[in-house]
Structure 1
Amino acid sequence: MKHIKLKKVKRLSSWRKVSINTWKMPVDPSTYGLLKFNAKNFESFAKENGVTPTHLFTKVIAQVFHENPEINRIVRGANLYQRESVDIFLQVSVDHKGHDLSGAIIRDADKKSVFEIRKELMESAQNIRDNKDKSFKKVKKIVSLIPNFLTRPLLYLLDLAMYRFNFYSPLFGVKNDPFGSCMITSVGNFGAEFAFAPIPTISHVPIVLSLFKVKNEPIVEDDKVIIQKTLSVGVTLDHRIIDGVYASRIIAGIKKYVESPQLL
C-alpha cells in the first residue's frame, strides 16, 4: 500500500526548482528564527478554557498550515509533493527521568478543536508512559534487537522505502508518515532563554518549533518600557520548502492567532 497520500506539485517556480536540486536533505538545519509574541490574550484564553499553552499552540499551528498549504509539502528526490492532511507531531517524555523520548501525532489537527487536541494528546501521552501504545512498544522492541552497527543502514533502507519510493507495510512496525507535517517540542521547563531544535533527517518535516513558557518581559512601547506577557518560539525551517515569503506568512499567522486566540 502507499505510505502517504501524495499529489505531485507540477508547477514549480524557478527558485524552487533550483533550491531542490542544489541542496540535499538537510543533515543540519540551515534556517533559524526566534519569534516573540504578545501573549496576554493567549495565556488568559488557555486558562479560561482549561487547556495548556501547548494544546492551544498546536491548534494555532494547525490552522496556519491549513491556511498556507504551500508549507505542508515534502521533498522526494528532485520533486516537491503536497501532503493531503495537517498532522502535528508533539514530543512526549516517556518518564520524568529523561531515560526515553517519544512523541504523539495529532492527525487532521486543523479539523479538530483545541479541546479535542487536548484530549487526544493527553490520552496518547498517557498510553506511551503506561507502555500501552502498541506501535511505540513494537518500535522499541525492534530497535533494541538491532545490533548497533546495523542501525544506520537499516534506518536508511526504511527511509528509502517509505519516503523515496512511497511504499508502506505494517511489517515496518511504524505508523504511516509518523512525524506528520510539523514537529513541536515544549522546552519551557529546561531553563534556557531560547533554543532551536534540529530537524531529524528521518522526519521529513519542513519545520520544527520550540515552544517556551509564557513569561513577563520588559518591552518598549510608545518610547516607554512596560512589562508584557510574551511567548517565545524557536523556529527551524527546511529552506528547500519554506523560504522568506512563506516564513513571513507563518509568522503573520502565528501572531494573528496567538494575540487573538478567540479567532480559532
Structure 2
Amino acid sequence: MPHLDLELKSKMSSFRRIAIGTWKTTYDPSIYGAMTVKMDDLIRYMNEFNQKTGRHITITHIMAKAVASTLEQMPDANAILRFNRIYVRKSIGVFFQVALTDDETGELDLSGATIHDANQKSLVEIHDEFSEQVKKVR
C-alpha cells in the first residue's frame, strides 16, 4: 500500500498469531466499541474553552484529540491486517464522517474529514483544520 506509511510488526505473541489464523472476516478487520461517559465536566470545560478562545469546539473535536492520544499510547491499535500480517501505521490520522444536506434536493450525503497527525495538534488546531475541511466538502 504505497499511500500508507506502514511498518511490519515483526514480533507477535502466540495468541496474536493464532487469532489472525482463525479470523474468518479478514476482509473487514474492524473493531467497534461503545461506552457510556459522564459528560458534565467535559461540557463545562468546552464552555470555558469556547469563551476563552472564541471558537466553538464540540464533542467531535474532543473525540479527535482523545482518539489520537489513545492511538499514540496504544500503537498496536493503529494498525491494519493485510495477508495475515499486521502493519502498524507510522502516523496517526483520525477520520470523521460528515453528514451534509444537498441544498437543491434536500438529500443527505455522507462525506468525511481526516485530521492527520492529530496527536501532535492542539484542540484549537484540530478545530480550525476540521472546520476548514468541512467547508471544502460543502
TM-score range, shorter chain: 0.7 to 0.9
Check 1:33–1:89 CA distance in 2 against 1; reply closer, same or farther (3 A cut). closer
**CA displacement 1:36-69 (0-9 Å, x = unmatched):** 1221111111111121111112111111111111
| Structure 1 gap segments, 5+ residues each | 130-264
TM-score (norm 2): 0.83
* Deviation, structure 1 residue 98: 4.2
| Number of residue pairs the alignment of both structures matches | 128
Match of 1:55 among 56, 61, 74: 61
The higher-RCO structure (CA 8 Å, 6+ apart) is 1
Identity rate of aligned residues, in percent? Answer: 33
8 Å Cα contact 2:78/2:92 also seen in 1: yes
* Aligned-CA RMSD value: 2.0
Distance 1:85 1:91 in 2: 20
Taking the TM superposition and a 5 Å limit, the aligned residue runs for 1:1-264 are 2-23=2-23, 24-25=25-26, 27=28, 33-50=33-50, 51-95=57-101, 97-129=106-138
TM-score in terms of structure 1 length: 0.45
Distance, in Å, in 1 between the alignment partners of 2:107 and 2:7 is 39
**Per-residue deviation, 1:115:** 0.7
Runs of at least 4 residues off by over 4 Å: 26-29
Secondary structure of 1:34's match?
A: coil
Q: Secondary structure at the match of 1:93?
A: strand
Report how far residue 32 of structure 1 moved.
5.0
Contact in 1 for aligned 2:29/2:81 (Cα 8 Å): no
| Gap change, CA 1:28 and 1:16, over 3 Å in 2 | closer
What is the Cα deviation at residue 28 of structure 1? 9.0
